[in-house]
């Protein structure tokens, strides 16, 4: 990261009015210009009242998991500070998915946009409508690679292992390629 960019980022963080929890949100798309959908979703997340996007990882082209007979995905991770509860944040993310045209289909199937809370501070939630940390986070290269780019030292609250450590131990051999943004 360039020093000038870092200084601007730090000034924005230090002067930001939003207090709250540092959270990480996964973004994915493999339909209808997936790069554009991921960028659009980031803009929508940044517009949520009570949330401030701090960073977004690079975009990655990733091999599908589960249902493999589909187009490859574009994935990224957002780091944000939020004053919202985890449940409220999830409702806001689902609202963005709905407004962008997401329709629930087959598990791991094609989608115009997918937004998931990966981590919500160091909280562990096991409820019918929300599980945090995301239950597949530690098993998926397409999530851990972009998360590692922006938060390698963050500790998974259930395992006590850093994101970098989870990536080092990962058995998933799925292909994850850095996408050159231009």
- Check residue 181 and report its DSSP letter: P
Q: Which of 111, 129, 140, 172 is catalytic?
A: 111
Strands in 14-63 per DSSP E: 21-29, 51-56, 60-62
Q: Which of 37, 61, 102, 141 is catalytic?
A: 102
Per the DSSP assignment, residues forming a β-bridge with 126 are 131
Residue 116 falls in the annotated catalytic set: yes
Q: Is 8 helix (H, G, I), strand (E, B) or coil?
A: helix
Q: Which of 37, 56, 114, 141 is catalytic?
A: 114
Residue 111 falls in the annotated catalytic set: yes
Q: Which of 37, 56, 116, 140 is catalytic?
A: 116
State which H helix or E strand residue 17 sits in.
none
In angstroms, the Cα distances linking 94 to 1, 20, 86, 115 are 32, 20, 12, 7
Give CA–CA dist 7/136, Å, rounded.
34
Residue 16 falls in the annotated catalytic set: no
As annotated, the active-site residues are: 102, 111, 114, 116
């Amino acid at each position: 990261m360039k020093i000038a960019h870092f200084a601007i980022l730090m000034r924005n963080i230090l002067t930001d009015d939003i207090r709250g929890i540092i959270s990480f949100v996964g973004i994915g798309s493999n339909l209808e210009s997936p790069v554009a959908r991921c960028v659009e979703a980031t803009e929508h997340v940044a517009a949520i009242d009570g949330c401030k996007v701090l960073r977004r990882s690079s975009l990655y082209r990733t091999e599908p998991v589960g249902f493999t007979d589909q187009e490859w995905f574009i994935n990224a991770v957002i780091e944000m500070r939020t004053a919202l509860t985890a449940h409220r944040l999830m409702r806001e993310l689902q609202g963005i998915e709905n407004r962008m045209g997401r329709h629930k289909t087959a598990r791991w199937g094609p989608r115009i946009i997918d937004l998931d809370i990966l981590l919500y501070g160091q909280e562990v939630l096991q409820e019918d409508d929300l599980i945090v940390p995301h239950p597949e986070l530690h098993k998926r290269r397409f999530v851990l690679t972009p998360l590692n780019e922006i938060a390698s030292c963050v500790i998974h609250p259930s395992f006590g292992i850093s994101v970098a450590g989870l990536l080092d131990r990962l058995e998933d051999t799925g292909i994850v390629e850095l996408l050159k943004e231009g």
